[in-house]
Homo-oligomer: A and B are copies of this chain.
């Protein structure tokens, strides 16, 4: 039920290759060595009692049984839910209300894997999603991009490629994400081809495909068949789609058709209610969580009706609201608590979780941005989220993808590697000998213990300034955002694309050219 919560001796477990890889990272000047993903070495932060969790689950069950979920314009999904036992009522043409007996969705979800591998084209970058594993991916879905030099502007395919490259450059991300920004200079009905191609070409990590239309989902999977082979793709998760419910309590047919496409191809899918309290969900967190659980379970279940065993990720995105403006507020304490609870619920369901990320509402990569991000991101990692989208770049309530914030956030992701590693308590780390060697009043700089550990004891930021004030001042007195500005430019300048088999590349480009040629451009 609670694989990693509460009081246990799990503090002695460590992430894959933790210390050794960190030692190696120091040899490379502190920039860090990529780990394919994190295996958490500390327990989750569980704030609710069994009794309270059971009450939230009971409310979710009641929502599903008594209010139900509205399904729009997907007769095939309706048929699948009905055959599985849902009570279906047509409330308008092509609109159905689905009601689920308590326990029915739990039963259906039993075939969904608690943990699965998403394969990357570089097998060293395969990620395990679920259980004690944590995967960081960059932010997703911003129409604008932003940097200190050019300010805010609509995203382009060039920005998209830059963000894929910057994410690939970071040792502290594990996954290339999906719509790292909207490439608004490419036709709406064709941009998915360029986006998927950019992930394949400029990254060798796992990525997300298109979900904005069923045929775009199919194209995304088809490009993976070219990359991985059709048989391998049929038997393994090589791509995932991130699907939003239409809260409150609606699944629209474009979404469900996309979910069906990914599941039929045995590919992964994320089932995300985006809940703004007071707008599309109750303001109070327990109610928001209950609704989110109900929606995500109903959406996840569809995958198992299409293809039992297809990977599905439970998900939540909680947001509070400004009393004064009605605007969403991110990085606030109440949604952070909600995310911790969502972690507890996902473990009880035995499903992987996507939750929270580096959320903020700030318009600039300033103190507000980082304070809010940290509040939100800590809830994700402490709550036990397994796949953390929006781990880097998130600015202005997701409206902007920020070049500077991306490198700030990836640096923070590095710190979170060390945090999630926890600590090993043994004779060496307890270091009695280090104190005994010279005794009271004597500095430990030169002790054997210090010499043995100083290169590996601490995570080292690539971006923080820790120098004496005078040195910092002499070097120009730059603030964090200015240093981040220099850093992303350096990373882009030094970026080298991972090798891609030339025949595969040509096949992908041929596919894209053919698909683009089949239909005229659409811009909405």
Binds B, one of A31-39, A110-118, A363-371, A512-520: A363-371
Return the 7 tightest CB-CB contacts between A and B, nearest first.
A287-B431, A282-B431, A374-B374, A249-B440, A70-B440, A333-B419, A367-B370
Does any Cβ of B come within 8 Å of A422's Cβ?
A: yes
Does any Cβ of B come within 8 Å of A237's Cβ?
A: no
Distance in Å: Cβ of A248 to nearest Cβ of chain B: 6
Binds B, one of A119-127, A197-205, A222-230, A321-329: A321-329
Our pick among B47, B49, B68, B429 for the contact of A440 (Cβ within 8 Å) is: B68
Q: How far is the CA of A9 from the CA of B278 in the complex (A)?
A: 27
Distance in Å: Cβ of A360 to nearest Cβ of chain B: 9
CB within 8 Å for A52 and B9 given contacts A287-B434, A365-B367, A371-B371? yes
A466 touching B67, Cβ below 8 Å: no
34-91 of chain A: CB within 8 A of chain B:
42-43, 45-52, 55-56, 59, 62-63, 66-70
Our pick among B323, B370, B460 for the contact of A323 (Cβ within 8 Å) is: B460
Residues of B within 8 A of A52 (CB): 9, 11-12, 425
Q: How far is the CA of A513 from the CA of B454 in the complex (A)?
A: 52
Distance in Å: Cβ of A174 to nearest Cβ of chain B: 17
Interface size of A as a range: 35 or more
Our pick among B97, B246, B465 for the contact of A363 (Cβ within 8 Å) is: B465
Our pick among B282, B337, B363 for the contact of A422 (Cβ within 8 Å) is: B337
Does any Cβ of B come within 8 Å of A351's Cβ?
A: no
Our pick among B422, B423, B436, B445 for the contact of A67 (Cβ within 8 Å) is: B436
Does any Cβ of B come within 8 Å of A101's Cβ?
A: no
A11 touching B49, Cβ below 8 Å: yes
Distance in Å: Cβ of A328 to nearest Cβ of chain B: 8
Q: How far is the CA of A408 from the CA of B372 in the complex (A)?
A: 12
Report the copy number of this chain in the oligomer.
Answer: 2
Residues of B within 8 A of A425 (CB): 48, 52, 55-56, 286
**Chain B residue at minimum C-beta to C-beta distance from A431:** B287
Residues of B within 8 A of A281 (CB): 444
Residues of A within 8 A of B (CB): 5-12, 26, 30, 42-43, 45-52, 55-56, 59, 62-63, 66-70, 97, 152, 246, 248-250, 277-288, 290-291, 320-325, 327-329, 332-334, 336-337, 341, 361-375, 378, 382, 396-397, 399-400, 408, 412, 415-416, 418-419, 422-426, 428-432, 434-436, 439-445, 449-450, 453-455, 457-461, 463-469, 472-473, 477, 479-481, 484
B467 touching A282, Cβ below 8 Å: no
A-B contact pairs, 28 of them (CB 8 A): A7-B49, A26-B323, A43-B46, A43-B47, A47-B423, A56-B430, A59-B432, A152-B469, A248-B443, A277-B458, A280-B443, A282-B429, A282-B435, A286-B425, A287-B430, A287-B431, A287-B434, A290-B430, A321-B458, A325-B467, A337-B422, A364-B480, A365-B367, A366-B480, A367-B367, A367-B369, A371-B408, A374-B374
